[in-house]
Amino acid sequence: EVQLVESGGDLVQPGGSLRLSCAASGFSFSTYWMSWVRQAPGKGLEWVANINQDGSDRYYMDSVKGRFTVSRDNAKRSLYLQMNGLRADDTAVYYCATVGAIYQYYMAVWGKGSTVTVSS
Amino acid sequence: EVVMTQSPATLSVSPGERAALSCRASQSIISNLAWYQQKPGQAPSLLIYGASTRATGIPARFSGTKSGTEFTLTISSLQSEDFAVYFCQQYNNWPLTFGGGTKVEI
């Protein structure tokens, strides 16, 4: 069974840092692009970042460029999101997801999410 | 950025009725569109990709169509488990963008 489990969410002060992790199992992790998507409380979905199979290609939404870094460790079957300079509007549930196929960047399988709250 | 506009924001229907949800792209996205379902307190799940291809295990009552830059998700006969929020997403251009969602309620 394909499974994604996020962790690392917490309450953090504005300007602080946090690292989210996503543990993958049940599929060949190293052969898939991966995504991070977030959802602010009571709001819609917002794509955050994508990373290709070996980490050499990464894409970000504009508002997180320079602050967030997506990475992966294929040996550990894990995806990460390093978040620096956190702001109140980064408060959201963060989901990791598998990308459907090469050049087909829909989110095929989702984790249950990890909650990040940015507040003083 | 490709703006995805979903309508209506809320759709009130009865079990057994047909529901049609709309998603319009601000420019051509070919057929690079996906639909997701999200139930309260749960993560989203993939329903349709490529505008009209059902994901594995999705019942045939869910169908997707395309007309130019307008996409429609149709649920032919609503079941109780279909009451949820539905999002569309384009993956033709960076940044990837979602519509604001349509809530299907009784």
B87 interface with A at CB cutoff 8 Å: yes
Residues of A in contact with B95 (CB under 8 A): 47, 59-62
> How near does any CA of chain B get to the CA of A64, in Å?
12
pLDDT tens string, chain B, 106 residues long: the values are 999 999 999 999 999 999 999 999 999 999 999 999 999 999 999 999 999 999 999 999 999 999 999 999 999 999 999 999 999 999 999 999 999 999 999 8
The shortest C-alpha distance from B17 to chain A (Å) reads: 26
Query: For B43, which of A61, A62, A111 is closest by C-beta distance?
Result: A111
Neighbours of B64 (CB within 10 A): 23
CA distance A117 to A88: 8
B57 touching A, CB under 8 A?
A: no
Neighbours of A57 (CB within 10 A): 10
Are the C-beta atoms of A68 and A83 separated by less than 8 Å?
A: yes
